[in-house]
């Protein structure tokens, strides 16, 4: 299949029931003289570009195994992948744009597989790469001047450029540019939520799915400047010779960012969007509440998000205020107080898991949902309660939906590995099918209601929440997390 884009022709791969186009440039290289600058349109090419391999990914720490270790890294990484149904009859198809997670320092659009969305759901699936870490989110406005005023948000501007590409080109792949859903999990969800705040993103997407994330990773400029100073120190640079950042090998920047603070793949991060007043407004919730025409939102989090981090991260094995200061900055005391409150009525382990889950994910999701709902946009909230041996951990909703996609109509996983905390068991079949149907319905129409789940009302003033479990139900009486009224939307540190 050959498709004409605005930059040139691309040829994809024939798959079972779909076509796949890998590594299509949506912007020019972000390296060389373009480092730390906003994205620019892709350079046109002649002839037909063979898109049978994934493009280069954003520079990041090398992975030990898996897809990341197999892909080249380059600052020329602004490319995307498209899966489109083989059958393009019955008019343009809804479009799903996947934004990968990875703590703003890792990940790639190649980590997902849109084949079944395209072949079985009739959805045009797009996954993207965007700049990460220091190359995508290092705030250099004060050091390098107005030419680099957006450097703290260039990763977000990359995503906007990809959505602009979708608007201009996706019809040629059979997609409907008026039905674009952006979806992300973890840091990808935080990117999606940040798009709601960006005037440049207005009109580029028409609904959004935010899984375990919101705007809690957006940093104020002072915090962003602290990160910048720490990166300079690791590189042995002073503000006076900071322009050497433009010339250093990308590998040196990655080494420096890896040595800065709690740049983990969960929670709040040293890197991420900046409330700079230019790309993203300074008062996040006020901007949302007074916005008009915001897209419909499907958002939620999982009941034991933090359990997987507690298991895998030695720093989190037991509660310490010092650890919380690294994760939450000036909000650490509020988080510690919440832990002290919960530990009076439950075991320390349960209290620790609940505290981290709520303050890493739950509070941010609730506050974001309420702000978007206040603006008048329809919001559907979920809370996943069903999970594996560690409970409904971070990313588990993705496991359920992928299991349902993989099973199709032919059956379901029958031999899961019970040692795997992300294993999905046969008893979860109906829940997984219901979630797959709800997500697909939302992508098609902007409303997640389906016969496979109970009637799902909008969040609204009653805070109606779909509790996803073996027997799902709508609840309006879920307890408010301790500290939910405390502002956590912008991460601050001294």
By the 10 Å C-beta count (0-12 exposed, 13-18 middle, 19+ buried), 212 is classed as: buried
Dist. CA 167–CA 159, nearest whole Å: 12
For residue 124, which of 81, 83, 66 has the smallest C-alpha distance? 83
Dist. CA 368–CA 209, nearest whole Å: 13
From the list 266, 269, 394, 488, the catalytic residue is 394
By the 8 A CB rule, do 294 and 205 touch? no
For the chain, the maximum distance between any two Cα atoms, rounded to a whole number of angstroms, is: 69
Active site residue 186: yes
Active site residue 463: no
Backbone CA torsion sign across 64, 65, 70, 75: negative
Q: Which residues contact 477 (CB under 8 A, 6 or more apart)?
A: none
Q: Measure the CA angle with vertex 128, ends 123 and 131; round to 5°.
A: 165
The torsion angle over the Cα atoms of residues 223, 229, 230 and 236, rounded to 10 degrees, is 170
From the list 186, 194, 291, 440, the catalytic residue is 186
Neighbours of 222 (CB within 10 A): 12
Distance, first Cα to last Cα, the chain: 55
Distances from the Cα of 426 to the Cα of 231, 402, 430, 432, 467, angstroms: 48, 14, 9, 10, 19
Dist. CA 435–CA 70, nearest whole Å: 32
From the list 303, 305, 325, 397, the catalytic residue is 305
Active site residue 303: no
Looking at the annotation, which residues are catalytic?
186, 305, 394
């Amino acid at each position: 299949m050959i498709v004409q884009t605005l930059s040139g022709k691309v040829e994809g791969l024939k798959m079972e029931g779909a076509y796949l186009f890998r590594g299509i440039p949506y912007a020019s290289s972000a390296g060389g003289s373009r480092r730390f600058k906003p994205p620019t349109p892709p350079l046109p090419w002649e002839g037909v570009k063979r898109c049978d391999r994934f493009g280069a990914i954003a520079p990041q720490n090398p992975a030990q195994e898996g897809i990341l270790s197999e892909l080249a890294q380059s600052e020329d990484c602004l490319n995307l992948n498209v899966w489109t149904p083989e059958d393009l009859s019955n008019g343009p198809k809804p479009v799903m744009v996947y934004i990968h997670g990875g703590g703003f320092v890792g990940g790639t659009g190649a980590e997902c597989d849109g084949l079944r969305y395209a072949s079985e759901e009739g959805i045009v699936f797009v996954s993207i790469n965007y700049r990460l870490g220091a190359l995508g989110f290092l705030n250099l406005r004060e050091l390098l001047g107005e030419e680099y005023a957006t450097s703290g948000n260039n990763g977000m501007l990359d995503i906007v450029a990809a959505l602009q590409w979708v608007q201009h080109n996706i019809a040629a792949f059979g997609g409907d540019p008026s039905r674009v859903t952006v979806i992300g999990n973890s840091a990808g969800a935080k990117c999606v939520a940040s798009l709601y705040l960006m005037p440049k993103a207005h009109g580029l997407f028409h609904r959004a799915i935010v899984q375990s994330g919101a705007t809690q990773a957006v940093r104020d400029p002072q915090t962003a400047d602290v990160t910048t100073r720490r990166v300079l120190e690791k590189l042995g640079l002073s503000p006076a010779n900071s322009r050497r950042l433009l010339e250093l090998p990308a590998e040196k920047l990655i080494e420096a960012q890896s040595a800065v603070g709690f740049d983990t793949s969960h929670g709040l991060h040293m890197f991420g969007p900046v409330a700079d007043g230019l790309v993203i407004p300074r008062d996040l919730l006020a901007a949302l509440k007074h916005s008009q025409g915001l897209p419909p939102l499907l958002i939620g989090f999982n009941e034991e998000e933090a359990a997987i981090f507690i298991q895998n991260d030695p720093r989190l094995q037991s509660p310490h205020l010092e650890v919380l200061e690294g994760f939450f900055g000036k909000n650490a005391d509020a988080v510690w107080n919440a832990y002290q409150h919960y530990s009076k009525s439950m075991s320390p382990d349960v209290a620790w898991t609940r505290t981290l889950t709520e303050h890493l994910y739950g509070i941010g999701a609730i506050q974001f949902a309420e702000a978007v709902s206040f603006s008048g946009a329809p919001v559907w909230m979920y809370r996943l309660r069903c999970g594996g041996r560690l409970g409904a951990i971070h990313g588990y909703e993705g496991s359920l939906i992928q299991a349902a996609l993989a099973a199709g109509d032919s059956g379901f996983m029958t031999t899961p590995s019970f040692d795997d905390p992300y294993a999905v068991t046969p008893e979860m079949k109906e829940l997984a099918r219901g979630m797959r149907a709800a997500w697909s319905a939302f992508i098609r129409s902007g409303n997640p209601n389906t016969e496979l789940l109970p009637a799902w009302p909008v969040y609204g003033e009653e805070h109606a929440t779909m509790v996803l479990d073996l027997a799902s139900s709508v609840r309006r009486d879920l307890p408010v997390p301790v500290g939910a009224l405390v502002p956590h939307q912008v991460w601050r540190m001294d």
